[in-house]
Amino acid sequence: MKGTWKLKLRMWITSILMFTTVYILVMLAGTYLGVGSYMVWMAASLIIVFLQYWFGPSLVKRSMNVRPLSEAEAPQIHKMVAELAQEAGIPKPEVGLSEVDIPNAFAYGRSKRSGHIAITRPILGLLDQDELRAVIGHEMGHIKHNDMIVTTIVSVIPMICYYVALSFMFSGDRDNGGTILIGILGYVFYLIGQLLVLFISRTREYYADEASVEFGNRPAALVSALYKLSYGAARANKETIADLNTNRAFFVNDINNAKNDIVDFRQIDFDGDGRISDEELKRLVSSDVKISKKNGIMELLSTHPDSLKRVKRLGELEY
């Protein structure tokens, strides 16, 4: 797949930075507390990672109100999932229906051997068969790449930094400059870690997009699906968006940025029919896409890539 090595390199560099950050903080905290070995702190961190890894799927299932979707209820969807799993070379994931009032899909689980793909009820009447298959292919890509494990491991690092910061900044030992310094460093590392987690999340989305195309889906079908899903998220009420905010990284697109995404998609929907054709996508590939400073800053704080950059990259996979 085009450009994959660059994405892999970024993933490795970012992961190394994340673990270096938490190692430095744990070492400083352990030294200050007089703990004989940093291994005690590292063991505690690994326990937290394991607990999040083990109970994470159950928490996602509960928070997203997912129930099993039987083959009798949705034979076409099960057929899509089975075919895409065969293309991906992984066991067929469990299929679920999420009763949340926003059109989207997501994957979760501990590994590619215990993967789950869930679709929300509103997506069923919104996307055509090609678009839905492209979206499910995207989620299949997340499972094939073991994104659940990567996300679990890296996302817990900022949390560790945050709790170290709280422990030292409000320890009560205000006269000790070392305590305050470690607390401040912990908070700075927490902010840096959050930005790196978002970067990894955006990188993973590129991987999943490429995987969907690799599994035989048309890039234009996935782009049209993203366009329609943005409209669906933009129509959702604020309470629904707020309730799903902590889980937005699981979705195919960033539901918080839906209105801005629509503005971007309209620029390439040249005939205004609400979908992106192969010809429109081809036209975008040959264009010079420039991202505004505002959108560039917003992308840094988003779980998903800027929509125009993402769409152009999809187009470049085919044209």
pLDDT digits (tens, 9 = 90+) for 7-26: 677 777 877 887 787 778 87
Can 139 be counted among the known catalytic residues?
A: yes
Which residue in 318, 2, 316 sits closest to 308, CA to CA?
A: 316
What's the pLDDT tens digit per position in 85-138? Answer: 999 999 999 999 999 999 999 999 988 889 999 999 999 989 999 999 999 999
- Which of 71, 87, 94, 139 does the annotation list as catalytic? 139
Using the 8-state DSSP alphabet, how is residue 89 labeled? Answer: T
Q: What is the strand order of the sheet 115-120 is part of?
A: 66-68, 94-98, 115-120, 105-109
C-alpha to C-alpha distance for 112 and 142, rounded to whole angstroms: 9
- Containing 164, the helix (H) or strand (E) segment is helix 147-169
Exposed / middle / buried, residue 243 (Cβ in 10 Å: 0-12, 13-18, 19+): middle
37-54 residues labelled b (16+ CB within 10 A) or e (exposed): eeeebeeebeeebeebbe
Residue 305: which pLDDT band, with cuts at 50, 70 and 90? Answer: very high
C-alpha to C-alpha distance for 32 and 104, rounded to whole angstroms: 47
Task: Compute CA distances 130 → 206, 224, 270, whole Å.
Answer: 19, 10, 21
The residue-averaged pLDDT of 274-278 equals 89
Task: Compute CA distances 202 → 19, 104, 141, 205, whole Å.
Answer: 19, 17, 14, 5
The residue-averaged pLDDT of 219-248 equals 91
Q: How many CB atoms are closer than 10 A to CB 145?
A: 18
pLDDT at position 270 over 80: yes
Residue type, 92: K
- Give the pLDDT score at 153: 74
Q: How many CB atoms are closer than 10 A to CB 272?
A: 7
What's the pLDDT tens digit per position in 34-86? Answer: 765 666 766 776 777 788 788 888 888 998 999 999 999 999 999 999 999 99
pTM as predicted: 0.86
Q: Do residues 135 and 127 touch, judged by C-beta distance below 8 A?
A: yes
In the chain, how long is the greatest CA-to-CA distance? 68
229 phi, psi to nearest 5 deg: -65, -35
What's the pLDDT tens digit per position in 167-209? Answer: 887 766 655 667 888 888 889 988 988 898 898 889 889 999 9
